[in-house]
Amino acid sequence: MAPDSTTEDLQPSEEGPYRQRLRVGRSLLIPLDEVEWRATTSGGPGGQHANRASSRVEVRFDVVASASLGPRQRARLLERIGPVVRASAGEDRSQARNRQVALDRLVTRLAEGLKTQPVRRPTAPTKGSKERRLADKRTRSETKRTRGKPGPDD
């Protein structure tokens, strides 16, 4: 598989020759050794190719067993996504293309699970906005009050 925006080459290490890893945001790199792959037939229309070729790809990432996650990242993913993150792709005839699409989907799901929500600070309306709101209410009230049925002298 050729490196792209989500995978990076590693330098040789004690574990073995060159390996690749997924980049999820700025703070997380996941070795591809921690990702499980499964290829199946894609199903649906397509004749003999769809019935015989294992072009649908499912990738699976075990959050609990991962050594690349920090304690906060692991806790956040367990809370938001669960113990196992899955992504699959089977739209393309090529298994290699489906592998890349499935990896991209996995990275997207992990990135969404790791996002922190900004803390919302409650604010009070300004004095000017209160005055404008009350002036608009008075104007609208006057408009509706003058719409009444005509009196006997009108």
The tens place of each residue's pLDDT in the chain, 154 residues long, gives 444 445 555 444 444 433 588 888 888 889 988 999 999 887 766 667 666 778 899 999 999 999 999 999 999 999 999 999 999 998 888 889 999 999 999 999 999 999 988 999 999 999 999 999 999 999 999 999 888 777 777 6
Is residue 57 domain-resident?
A: yes
Contact predicate 84/60, CB 8 Å:
yes
The values of phi and psi at residue 58, to 5°, are: -120, 130
Is residue 98 domain-resident?
A: yes
The values of phi and psi at residue 145, to 5°, are: -65, -35
The values of phi and psi at residue 28, to 5°, are: -135, 125
Determine the Cα–Cα distance for residues 40 and 102; give it in Å rounded to an integer: 13
Is residue 56 domain-resident?
A: yes
The values of phi and psi at residue 18, to 5°, are: -55, 135
Is residue 100 domain-resident?
A: yes
Q: What angle do CA 111, 116, 122 make, to 5 degrees?
A: 150
Q: Give the total number of structural domains in the chain.
A: 1
| Residue 72 belongs to domain spanning | 34-114
Is residue 74 domain-resident?
A: yes
| Reported pTM | 0.66
